[in-house]
Amino acid sequence: MADADPAALHEFRAEQAKPNTLRKKLLGGIAGAVLLIGAGYGGWYALVGSHHIGTDNAYVGADTASVTPMIAAQVLNVRVADTQAVRKGDILVQLDDSDARIALAQAEADMATARRQYGQATATSAALASQVEARGADITSARAQLDAAQAAYEKARLDLTRRQKLAPNGAVSGDELSSAVNAFASARANLELARAAIAQASSTRGAASGQLAANNALISGTTASTAPEVLAAQARVAQAKLELERTLIRAPIDGVITRRNVQIGQRVAPGTPLMLIVPVGQLYVDANFKEGQLTRVKIGQPVTLTSDLYGGDVEYHGRVVGLSGGTGSSFALIPAQNATGNWIKVVQRLPVRVALDPRELQAHPLRVGLSMDAEIDVSAN
């Protein structure tokens, strides 16, 4: 090597140093890129990322309406099928209305009877009032008869007294005295009869007055439309009409039929679940966020969502409307019993209710149970 050309040796060493230089440049470039990416991510997180929290554990939900009958009857017709869209008020199921129609006819007959009975009570009051007046006239007549009997009695008494005084002198015959005694007895009997007639007439008038008062108490302050019996009959008619209307089961809300489990000919009882109606225009999302993400979540904050059904090209916009009262595991059928020695900590998730924009739902319909990605802007108040 001592005899080697210095120029060649220098050139050899330069060639050996080139890979090290390239490696250093490459490592320096990678380090710079990493620093640049880290700085960019740090800036993005500080300006944007720290103000948003997201989860892919979110699902579409809805407050479904359960369709149940209010009366017991046989199913005559089912007008809808699963997946069919219905509007509020549409007829879903028709029940046999024979019993309901008979009950309505009976109630209407009872109401007619109640109205007639009220009319009879009114007429009875008029008749009783006439009887009271007639008994008053009877009392007046009986009093006149009493006056006549009293006068006859006094006359007979005087005649008898006068003849009894003359009898010892022989001025009055025995037959005449006997006639006077008989006349006096007859007058006294007629007087007692007249007094009894007054008492009887007074009693009869009192009975008629009592009947009139009792009858007036039933109809006083009422009319043919406000009498209690008529009102009760009207209530039975209204109830019968309601039962008849309930033979047609209608949709309580707009939505889509699901879980229809009623068939023609089936006899249903009140409260039997017939089907469900899902209000696809009033859906919401339950987004399950980790407990550490909820520090700054507040009601009213905007939420951006995407669905696995449409992908990222379709965005939904909603707002936080509430946070659940407990985690999903706490309301499970068999809740976790961590107090029994379960020392493994599991990050819990809390459902956050997000209301969706109905106009966006109409443009891109969703269904209950579909998966969603949700991102909350926690910087908004």
Q: Which residues contact 221 (CB under 8 A, 6 or more apart)?
A: none
Confidence band for 117, pLDDT divided at 50, 70 and 90: confident
- Beta strands at 302-307 and 267-268: parallel, antiparallel or unpaired: unpaired
Same domain, 167 and 191: yes
Same domain, 74 and 122: no
**Residue range 90-105: average pLDDT?**
95
Q: What is the mean pLDDT of the chain?
A: 82
pLDDT digits (tens, 9 = 90+) for 58-81: 999 999 999 999 999 999 999 999
Q: At what angle do helices 98-166 and 228-245 cross, to 10 degrees?
A: 170
**369 in a structural domain:** no
What distances in angstroms separate CA 160 from CA 164, 171, 174, 176, one per listed residue? Answer: 6, 14, 12, 10
pLDDT digits (tens, 9 = 90+) for 231-241: 899 999 999 99
CA–CA distance, 341 with 324 (Å, rounded to integer): 27
pLDDT of residue 28: 74
Report the number of distinct structural domains present in the chain: 2
Share of the chain above pLDDT 70, in %: 79
pLDDT digits (tens, 9 = 90+) for 243-266: 999 999 999 999 999 999 999 999
Element (H, E) at 254: none
pLDDT of residue 1: 45
**347 in a structural domain:** no
Highest mean pLDDT of the ranges 33-42, 152-161, 216-225, 253-262: 253-262
With beta carbons less than 8 A apart as the criterion, state whether 244 and 100 touch: yes
**Residue range 131-151: average pLDDT?**
75
Same domain, 270 and 216: no
**Residue range 315-344: average pLDDT?**
77
**39 in a structural domain:** no
pTM over 0.75: no
Question: DSSP H helical segments within 167-276, as ranges?
Answer: 174-219, 228-245
CATH code where residue 76 lies: 2.40.50.100
Residue 332 or 278, more confident: 278
Is residue 266 left, alpha or beta, with left meaning phi > 0 and alpha meaning psi from -120 to 50?
beta
Same domain, 176 and 271: no
Walk across the sheet containing 91-95 and list its strands.
Answer: 248-250, 91-95, 73-78, 267-268
Same domain, 225 and 269: no
Q: Which structural domain, as residue segments, surrounds residue 137?
A: 100-242
pLDDT at residue 325 greater than cutoff 90: no
Same domain, 219 and 260: no
End-to-end alpha-carbon separation of the chain, Å? 79
Same domain, 208 and 269: no
Confidence band for 13, pLDDT divided at 50, 70 and 90: low
pLDDT at residue 24 greater than cutoff 80: no
Q: Dihedral angle at the C-alpha atoms of 257, 258, 261, 265, nearest 10 degrees?
A: 20
Tokens at 215, concatenated: 């009858």
The DSSP result for 272-310, as a single string, is ---EEEE-TTS-EEEEEEEGGG-TT--TT-EEEEEETTT
Same domain, 137 and 265: no
CA–CA distance, 281 with 256 (Å, rounded to integer): 10
